[in-house]
DNA sequence: TTGTAGGCGTTATCAA
DNA sequence: TTGATAACGCCTACAA
């Protein structure tokens, strides 16, 4: 065998028509359940369809005017992260419920990759895009939005473009978390979080600061450790704080990576330290010293964003919306106490 | 405004051609980087492309002979399950690396839904399908396979059809887990697992049995609890076993849901009990009484399956392959000891 | 270097 | 009830 043999290709409507001795239109009518086909004809055509294993080609179909791909694109930073996988599931289910398939792509927090993915998905003519932005400037989408592509941002707002967005109440959640620790009697509380360049991280720090401020406390810069992307870095940051001459009696962690790191750091210093973390996780109650978390409904986020996107695709022309999903404090363990 | 206004539609190649005063072919050449276009012409066309926001339409493109959708379909039981989300990520990355996009669909372990998804994806003309089967009969795929669609099954073998499959070494892993407990001195070990109808569950029970047998032990039916799908059921099953008059000194759990349930059950009875579970999970080392797990590389599974699928699409006609991903025992905690 | 013709698989429209 | 025709957006093959 030389060269690449073409894969056995599927029968086309024309082949079915020839085999059944009818025109393509008749086959089309049978395939699409059009009632205006005589019963015997329908039966004969259907038999040929079954025999040949014919399946309508949606690619050709969606080329026709008025039709679309009926696909949404989901661009996400990392599907394997529990939060995002929950969102991905919710999006897939909501999309399917409304008649859309879903193409997914991971950016791994890489801005260039994000843009490549947007390109690829637009070329594939998705009807809409759900983006968990890796950050940066999204003004390149302006021309696409003008061309009628619908876009909804998820978790973080876009840069330099006006579009729909579904966010978590990062500020309020962090403030509640801070107040919880203060309520437990803590007066010196450290902050462990990821880079301030990430929208959620910055908002959460601000919310945490607000909690202190409204309680008449301040957050010395020496107790702020921003920039830990992973568990290892977060642990180091937490240990650093806890080994200060005048260490905090509690920590606030800005996301689940940092919560785990803080937890490990606390364990490493072997001293009871209060802890509140943003993001809930399974098994949170099974760990040795359960801590309080700021939780939110990731499933609801995915569903809300998808519904909004599909509404847009189906003609909703209202001004860009900003949906904020509330957080709730899930109190677990003692969250430590301030004094001995 | 009455009726549904058509979304501002994208410019086509023809429009670009007209605006630039050239033929469509010239635009096509510019778009596809064909060198045989005079520099001034190219510049003029490119300017129009940018001005109009033109993007090639891959749907139209893939309709042409020789081209394909360059899409793979991933049908999975639940993307939000950590194991499957890791697989989904690996598949997406491997697919992209080889030039394919990915459409995903969740079955939620529903056989009918699985079949609907297969239909939808075939209609969309994906080049290949990765399926984590919910179970049942897949003979309906025979005609599709004959038509040239490539399919690789993941995690569980298909029913009644001969196709590529990537599996975990369920049997060997469970046997190793059993031997580990026996090595710790346990002689009466209970089994907590999901329905025997699920391939993996059945294989794991068999492997566990083999460990006992080769050690000269037997597994009384009274110590086997199959059928717990979720954590709550698994906990009940574990407690039941541990409250028997002659209770086991250790438990083997057939998957992560059952591991968590067993763990909770053990804690409920408040007595030290050995535990080994199939499936690793994050934070496994942070829980109060860490236990040994049978782990495997889910990422590798996804990658291997995707590579195999793409090989098939690209012409590999070797007989169906069966790839088995090995497991490894991750010993944690004491796994209990048998006697006082 | 540039352009023309034809067709990929489907369906809307109009005609028989 | 059935069919012929044209068109969706693009690209291969072949001219000019």
Task: Report the C-alpha gap between A327 and B117 in whole angstroms.
Answer: 34
Query: What's the rounded mean pLDDT across residues A192-201?
Result: 91
Task: Report the C-alpha gap between B158 and B162 in whole angstroms.
Answer: 8
Structure-token pair, residue B41: 């012409």
Q: What confidence category does residue B5 fall into, taking pLDDT thresholds of 50, 70 and 90?
A: very low
pLDDT of residue B335: 60
The reply to whether B334 Cβ lies less than 7 angstroms from strand C is no
Min Cα distance A210 → chain B (Å) is 31
User: Cβ of B244: how many Cβ atoms within 10 Å?
Assistant: 12
pLDDT of residue B6: 38
Residues of chain A contacting residue B7, judged by C-beta atoms under 8 Å apart:
148, 313
pLDDT of residue A83: 86
pLDDT of residue A259: 94
Q: Poorest-confidence range of A231-235, B81-85, B137-141, B286-290?
A: B286-290
The reply to whether B22 Cβ lies less than 7 angstroms from strand C is yes
pLDDT of residue A1: 25
pTM score, two decimals? 0.91
Mean pLDDT of chain B: 92
The helices-and-strands tally (H runs, E runs) of chain B is 12, 12
Query: What's the rounded mean pLDDT across residues B95-103?
Result: 96
pLDDT of residue A333: 76
Query: What's the rounded mean pLDDT across residues B164-179?
Result: 98
Does residue A335 carry a pLDDT above 70? no
Share of residues in chain B with pLDDT > 70 (%): 96
Tell me the torsion sign for CA atoms B184, B188, B192, B198: positive
Does residue B71 carry a pLDDT above 60? yes
Helix (H, G, I), strand (E, B) or coil at B159: coil
Does residue A2 carry a pLDDT above 60? no
Mean pLDDT of chain A: 92
The reply to whether B85 Cβ lies less than 7 angstroms from strand D is no
Can you tell me which residue has the tokens 């994050």? Answer: B282
The secondary structure of residue B33, as a DSSP letter, is T
pLDDT of residue B287: 84
Does residue B223 carry a pLDDT above 80? yes
Min Cα distance A58 → chain B (Å) is 5
Judge: A104–B88 Cβ closer than 8 Å, yes or no.
Answer: yes
Give tens-digit pLDDT for B149-168. Answer: 999 999 999 999 999 999 99
Residues of chain A contacting residue B286, judged by C-beta atoms under 8 Å apart:
260, 263-264, 287-288
Query: What's the rounded mean pLDDT across residues A214-232?
Result: 95
Q: Poorest-confidence range of A88-92, A310-314, B60-64?
A: B60-64
Structure-token pair, residue B93: 């990355």
Helix (H, G, I), strand (E, B) or coil at A306: helix
Does residue B189 carry a pLDDT above 60? yes
Does residue B106 carry a pLDDT above 90? yes
Q: What confidence category does residue B65 fall into, taking pLDDT thresholds of 50, 70 and 90?
A: confident
Q: Of B247, B244, B206, nearest to B226 (Cα)?
A: B206
- Of the candidates B9, B85, B105, the beta carbon closest to that of A85 is on B85
pLDDT of residue B334: 57
**Edge-to-edge strands, sheet with B250-253:** B224-226, B189-193, B250-253, B274-278, B292-296, B327-330
The distance from CA A107 to its chain's CA centroid, rounded to whole angstroms, is 11
Q: Hey, of B102, B104, B150, B293, which one would you mutate to test binding to chain A, going by the most A CBs within 10 A of its CB? A: B104
Q: Hey, of B80, B113, B121, which one would you mutate to test binding to chain A, going by the most A CBs within 10 A of its CB? A: B80
Query: What's the rounded mean pLDDT across residues B112-139?
Result: 94
The reply to whether A63 Cβ lies less than 7 angstroms from strand D is yes
A71 neighbors A100 (Cβ within 8 angstroms): yes
Structure-token pair, residue B226: 């199959």
**Edge-to-edge strands, sheet with A189-193:** A224-226, A189-193, A250-253, A274-278, A292-296, A327-330
pLDDT of residue A129: 97
The helices-and-strands tally (H runs, E runs) of chain A is 12, 12
Does residue A297 carry a pLDDT above 60? yes
| Spatial CB neighbours of A132, under 8 Å, sequence gap ≥ 6 | A75, A76, A77, A84, A87, A107, A153, A154, A155, A156
Q: Answer with the residue of higher pLDDT: B228 or B335.
A: B228
Query: What's the rounded mean pLDDT across residues B286-291?
Result: 84
Query: What's the rounded mean pLDDT across residues B309-329?
Result: 96
Task: Find, in chain A, the residue whose alpha carbon is nearest to that of B93.
Answer: A106
Query: What's the rounded mean pLDDT across residues B247-271?
Result: 94
Judge: A123–B57 Cβ closer than 8 Å, yes or no.
Answer: yes
pLDDT of residue A240: 97
The secondary structure of residue B287, as a DSSP letter, is B
């Amino acid at each position: 065998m030389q060269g690449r043999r073409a894969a056995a290709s599927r029968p086309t409507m024309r082949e079915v028509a020839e085999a059944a001795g009818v025109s393509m239109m008749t086959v089309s009518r049978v395939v699409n359940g059009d009632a205006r086909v005589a019963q015997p004809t329908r039966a004969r055509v259907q038999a040929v369809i079954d025999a040949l294993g014919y399946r309508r080609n949606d690619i050709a179909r969606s080329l026709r005017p008025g039709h679309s791909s009926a696909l949404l694109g989901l661009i996400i930073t990392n599907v394997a992260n529990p939060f995002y996988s929950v969102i991905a599931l919710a999006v897939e289910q909501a999309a399917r419920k409304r008649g859309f398939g879903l193409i997914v792509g991971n950016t791994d927090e890489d801005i260039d990759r994000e843009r490549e993915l947007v390109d690829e998905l637009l070329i594939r003519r998705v009807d809409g895009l759900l983006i968990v932005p890796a950050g940066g400037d999204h003004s390149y989408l302006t021309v696409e939005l003008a061309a009628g592509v619908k876009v909804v941002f998820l978790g973080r707002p876009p840069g330099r473009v006006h579009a729909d967005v579904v966010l978590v109440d990062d500020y309020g959640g962090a403030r509640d978390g801070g107040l919880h620790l203060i309520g437990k009697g803590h007066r010196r509380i450290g902050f462990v979080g990821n880079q301030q360049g990430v929208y959620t991280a910055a908002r959460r720090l601000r919310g945490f600061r607000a909690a202190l401020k409204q309680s008449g406390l301040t957050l010395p810069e020496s107790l702020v450790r921003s920039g830990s992307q992973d568990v290892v870095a977060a642990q180091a940051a937490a240990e650093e704080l806890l080994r200060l001459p005048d260490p905090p009696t509690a920590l606030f962690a800005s996301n689940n990576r940092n919560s785990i790191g803080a937890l490990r750091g606390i364990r490493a210093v072997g001293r009871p330290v209060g802890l509140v973390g943003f993001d809930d996780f399974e098994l949170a109650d099974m760990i040795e010293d359960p801590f309080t978390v700021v939780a939110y409904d990731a499933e609801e986020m995915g569903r809300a964003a998808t519904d909004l996107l599909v509404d847009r695709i189906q003609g909703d022309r209202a001004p860009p919306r900003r949906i904020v999903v509330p957080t709730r404090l899930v109190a677990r363990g003692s969250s430590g106490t301030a004094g001995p």
